[in-house]
Amino acid sequence: MSDATIEVAGLRKRYGSATALDNMTFTAQAGRVTGLIGPNGAGKSTTMRIILGLHRADSGRALVGGQPYQSYPCPPRSLGALLDASAVHPARSGRNHLLWLAQSQGLGHRRVDQVLEQVGLAGAGRRGVGGYSLGMRQRLGIAAALLGDPPTLMLDEPFNGMDPEGIVWLRGYLRGLAAEGRAVLVSSHLMSELQDMADHVVVVGRGRVIADSSVAALIAGVSDGQVRVRTTAPESAAAVLSTLGGQVTYAEPQVLLVRGPGAEQVAEALSAAGLGFSELAPHRATLEEAYFALTGDAADYRATGGVAS
Ligand SMILES: Nc1ncnc2c1ncn2[C@@H]1O[C@H](COP(=O)(O)OP(=O)(O)OP(=O)(O)O)[C@@H](O)[C@H]1O
């Protein structure tokens, strides 16, 4: 699937006096899950709507497999999208909803039953969508996106309303789709959902890209050089480590993060001071920590770019 890319370059969009997108530029590559992460109002949904041609950018370009989405004879076969899982008539069954979509793409009922099976809705396909939970609607939306077996997928907040089992399923499922060579673009404002799932993240705020990096590089950058220490005497330990020139912060009440001295030096200093510790290792930041390190001078983004929850 060499043409499996979703590319936006230099997108700008204003709604009245509000700037929604300010030079939004990134590419979701084939064979990987790309997380599009940012606080509320950062511009994620606007970007996706422009990619689908639902909104028009003031300037810049949005391409799917190198072409505008609407230039394809059957666009849903080039890009499968889930924007709003609730946008389904409640009286219609999930299967009938998909049959209707399939027909418009020249596909038959076999494909509908296949995708229902794939998303775990085979048993619920003949029930009215009005009785579906939000998690089931998300699954139905994903099934709809998959109908045309597209090389690229774009899902806006697909984890919303999913229970823990659904989240685990969806993570594995999206990874599988990427492993088949597809480009999978997934927006979220919850880092924990993307941890261990996305290969690459594009962090956005106020309509522009703040970071565009592999997850591993992003985490390594934030973890860099810190040592994590768990101790029942955090204040004394912090005082000792400060005398070594370490910058000490609290990750939890009894867990210190020390920047400066290495793990061995920290262990020696604590032992020499007679202070015990139950954990001491180079720190590996979570994606969430990396995100807050990036956005959060994010007071800024929250104050002017919409309120982050
Ligand atoms: N149709 C619209 N009319 C006016 N302003 C809009 C419209 N759509 C989006 N905006 C504004 O554009 C900015 C970006 O919104 P967008 O919905 O793209 O952000 P988001 O990152 O998807 O946020 P969320 O996580 O809340 O979905 C916000 O300030 C929003 O208020």
The yes-or-no verdict on residue 198 having pLDDT over 80 is yes
Choice among 31-35, 114-118, 245-249 with the minimum mean pLDDT: 245-249
Ligand 1 pocket mutation, candidates 46, 83, 186, criterion most atoms within 8 A of CB: 46
- Please tell me the total count of domains within the chain: 2
The verdict on residue 180 lying in a domain is yes
Do 198 and 260 belong to one domain?
A: no
Do 174 and 204 belong to one domain?
A: yes
Band (285; pLDDT cuts 50, 70, 90) = confident
Instruction: Provide φ and ψ at 308, rounded to 5°.
Output: -85, 140
Q: Of residues 302 and 224, which shows the higher confidence score?
A: 224
Do 157 and 54 belong to one domain?
A: yes
Ligand 1 pocket mutation, candidates 44, 52, 160, criterion most atoms within 8 A of CB: 44
DSSP 70: G
Cβ contact 57:13 at 8 Å: yes
Do 157 and 210 belong to one domain?
A: yes
The verdict on residue 74 lying in a domain is yes
* CA 198, chain centre distance (Å): 7
The verdict on residue 133 lying in a domain is no
The verdict on residue 214 lying in a domain is yes
The verdict on residue 290 lying in a domain is no
Do 155 and 238 belong to one domain?
A: no
Q: Report the distance separating Cα 23 and Cα 13, nearest Å.
A: 9
Do 201 and 244 belong to one domain?
A: no
- Domain boundary pick from 182, 201, 220: 220
Band (180; pLDDT cuts 50, 70, 90) = very high
Q: Which residues pair with 63 in a beta bridge?
A: 7
The verdict on residue 253 lying in a domain is yes
Domain holding 262: CATH number? 3.30.70
Do 207 and 231 belong to one domain?
A: no
Enumerate residues 6+ apart whose C-beta is below 8 A from 301: 38, 39, 42, 205, 206, 295, 308
Domain holding 163: CATH number? 3.40.50.300
Q: Kindly give the number of the ligand 1 atom that is closest to the alpha carbon of 306.
A: 29
The verdict on residue 145 lying in a domain is no
Q: Which residues pair with 79 in a beta bridge?
A: 152
Do 74 and 12 belong to one domain?
A: yes
Do 213 and 262 belong to one domain?
A: no
Handedness of CA 41, 205, 7, 286 (dihedral sign): negative
Which range scores top for mean pLDDT: 61-65, 81-85, 258-262, 304-308? 61-65
Q: How far is the CA of 33 from the centre of ligand 1 (A)?
A: 23
93 residue type, one letter: S
Q: Is the pTM of this model over 0.90?
A: no
- Domain boundary pick from 181, 199, 220: 220
The yes-or-no verdict on residue 282 having pLDDT over 70 is yes
**Parent domain of 243:** 226-282
> How high is the pLDDT of residue 117?
94
Q: Report the distance separating Cα 233 and Cα 204, nearest Å.
A: 39
Do 154 and 270 belong to one domain?
A: no
The verdict on residue 123 lying in a domain is no
